[in-house]
Amino acid sequence: MSDPIMDILDDFDRRWRAGERPDLAPLIASLRAQGDDELCVELCAADLEWRWRARQHKPSSRSHSLSSASSHSPPTAALRNRAQHFADPAPHPNEPLKNTGPLAIEYESLLDSLLRDHRYCQRMLEAEFLARSQWGDAPDIDAFLAETQYRGLPYPCAADTRDCGSSSLLDTQQVAGDLTAQLDQLALFRVSVVRADNLLLSVRVPPQFEIGRQNRREPPPPVWIPEIKRLVVANVKDRNLSRHQIHIRRTRIHEIALTNTSRNVALSLESAPLRPAETSRLPTPVTITINDLVVEIHSEA
């Protein structure tokens, strides 16, 4: 049995692929009259994405009207899987484009009060972030959220906040975590451990994890422990590495932030040592030398 929402979204995608620029305004007005709020938001997200895609072939400015728009990328897991059907190469390594593309807030005139709902607001932020990560300037997550806050988007999304309760507000830490996790839609995050040109371990990892020395109850290194998001790379007796040595967080599609959480042990990176309590942001792949091991962190399309 066909899904009416997916049928409408698929038809919208087909029209864009055929070279049309669907007029979004009357379609959204009709759906809003029917009370189909989720589909309205999904079409706006799809429109935003297609507009960013179109820039790859013919650069366009943000001055285009919303009736000649572009995008797509959904809220439920089933809908989000649509994005993988359109996987195109992402920019690397984070080179900004000269022309800007559409922003989530530009859909406020179409969605109006729907953007006061934190779920729909977050959905549009996700659509913008993923589109820019794949076809645009690959924004840093923290800078992106600060930028959207400045634009008035998540606190709350609508410009008039007088009637909005606390339920309208977005938890920016939660949104940042969600955006980071969604980068895996575009490029998987992987760690490899090598000794003397021999690959000892290669594992897909989450957007945030820890590297450190073995605890007494942990298996021998090198080992990935998924339950606690931890990579163990040194024996329990090895005092050249701390138990909690380094925290890694993905910040862009091809960039990570490394924080040395040890109190007294520095780390050897390709570029320079990472001293205790220091944080460094580097484009992937990143190589860390730990004793006789080489740990490489990379994102793969």
Q: pLDDT digits over 46-100, tens only?
A: 999 999 998 865 533 333 334 333 333 333 433 444 433 333 433 444 444 444 7
Indicate if 171 and 193 belong to the same structural domain.
Answer: no
H-assigned helices in the chain = 4-17, 24-33, 37-54, 77-80, 82-85, 108-111, 118-135, 141-150, 172-182
Indicate if 178 and 198 belong to the same structural domain.
Answer: no
- Boundary-marking domain end, from 185, 209, 229: 185
CATH of the domain at 273: 2.60.200.20
Q: How many structural domains does the chain have?
A: 2
Indicate if 175 and 194 belong to the same structural domain.
Answer: no
- The pLDDT of residue 165 is above 90: no
Tell me the mean pLDDT in the region 95-120: 78
List pLDDT tens digits, range 236-266: 999 999 999 999 999 998 899 999 999 999 9
What DSSP designation does 98 have? S
| DSSP bridge partners of 274 | 267
Indicate if 11 and 158 belong to the same structural domain.
Answer: yes
- Boundary-marking domain end, from 165, 185, 205: 185
Amino acid at position 243, single letter: R
| Across 21-25, 145-149, 223-227, least confident range | 145-149
Indicate if 157 and 202 belong to the same structural domain.
Answer: no
Q: What is the mean pLDDT of the chain?
A: 80
List pLDDT tens digits, range 189-233: 999 999 999 999 999 999 899 999 999 999 999 999 999 999 999
Indicate if 78 and 34 belong to the same structural domain.
Answer: yes
Indicate if 199 and 150 belong to the same structural domain.
Answer: no
Please state whether beta strands 230-234 and 208-213 pair in parallel, antiparallel, or not at all (unpaired). parallel
Indicate if 166 and 192 belong to the same structural domain.
Answer: no
**238: Cα within 13 Å, side-chain hemisphere:** 22
Indicate if 92 and 124 belong to the same structural domain.
Answer: yes
Indicate if 168 and 243 belong to the same structural domain.
Answer: no
Indicate if 112 and 159 belong to the same structural domain.
Answer: yes
The whole domain housing 51 covers 4-185
> DSSP string covering 161-214, please?
-TT--GGGS--HHHHHHHHHHHGGGTSEEEEEEEETTEEEEEEE--SEEEEEEP
- Boundary-marking domain end, from 185, 202, 226: 185
